[in-house]
Amino acid sequence: MSKHRASHRAPRRTGRVAALVLALGLTAAAGSAAAMGAIPQLRSPEPASASGALAPAAIETAELEKLEIPKPRVTPAAQTVEAAPVDTALPAGSGTGYRIVFDQSDQRVWLVKADGTVARTYLVSGSRFNNLQPGSYKVLSKSRTAGAFDGSGTMEYFVRFATGFSEPIGFHSVPKDNAGRLEQTQAQLGTRLSAGCVRQWLPDAIALWDFAPIGTRVVVTA
């Protein structure tokens, strides 16, 4: 009886062992699968968002356009315009020796030494009227200061050498009106602006005053 029961129970233990082995195998397989599932999928595409747009990781950064900034134009330096040389040669037919020469066309005066050397030359402003004829004159008188014939102002270093329609004609500084203002600018020298005399800038008027004693010859050219 005991032998029968013992032989009958042996297969049951064998079945239990087999079941246990099977269970352990399934557990190990499940653990292996779980371990494999924990490895991140680095190359997998990102899922789309609910709106259909790609997730941020999948959006490619737009390449900035390369803007070509134009270089500033370099304007060449303005070429220096050279003024035409001024002809300061003595006019033809202006005599010889120690003298003052006044050319009405160029509105220029020359102070000439006895040997023909030009001591000084400069622009002046002569008469607007035809009241002085070309020819040879001489210094008649000199006044350190003088008044205008019509009382409109004063002038300095007056050197008279001719007579106009009714008043003396001479060299003098640019007149000042009764308020003390100059009646013209230095830049206006070289143009006819006076009522009869020959206006000079003050340093030139002083130079002629010192150069011309009474009796000095004055040559006027057209």
Cβ atoms 192, 107 nearer than 8 A:
yes
Cβ contact 58:45 at 8 Å? yes
Of residues 26 and 118, more confidently modeled: 118
Taking the alpha carbons of 48, 53, 56, 59 in that order, is the dihedral positive or negative? positive
pLDDT (tens digit per residue) in 82-100: 666 777 999 999 999 999 9
The length of the chain, given as a count of residues: 222
Phi and psi (nearest 5°) for 121? -145, 145
Question: According to the model, what pLDDT value does residue 104 have?
Answer: 97
Q: Look at residue 74 and tell me whether its pLDDT is greater than 60.
A: no
Q: How many CB atoms lie within 10 A of CB 137?
A: 19
List residues bridging with 155 in a β-sheet: 146
* pLDDT band for position 164 (cuts 50, 70, 90): confident
Q: What is the pLDDT at residue 87?
A: 78
Q: Which of 210, 208, 203 is nearest to 186 (CA)?
A: 203
> In the chain, which residue ranges form alpha helices assigned H by DSSP?
2-37, 202-211
**Local confidence band at 165 (pLDDT 50, 70, 90 cut-offs):** confident
> pLDDT digit string (tens) for 39-53?
344 344 444 444 444
* Mean per-residue pLDDT, 62-73: 55
Q: What domains does the chain contain, in order, with CATH numbers?
A: 99-221 (2.40.440.10)
Percent of the chain past pLDDT 90, that is, above it, reads: 56
Q: 29 or 185: which carries more pLDDT confidence?
A: 185
Give the tens place of pLDDT for each residue, 170-192. Answer: 999 999 999 999 999 999 999 99
Are the beta carbons of 107 and 191 closer than 8 angstroms? yes
**Predicted pLDDT of residue 67:** 52
pTM of the model: 0.63
Q: What is residue 161's predicted lDDT score, i.e. its pLDDT?
A: 98
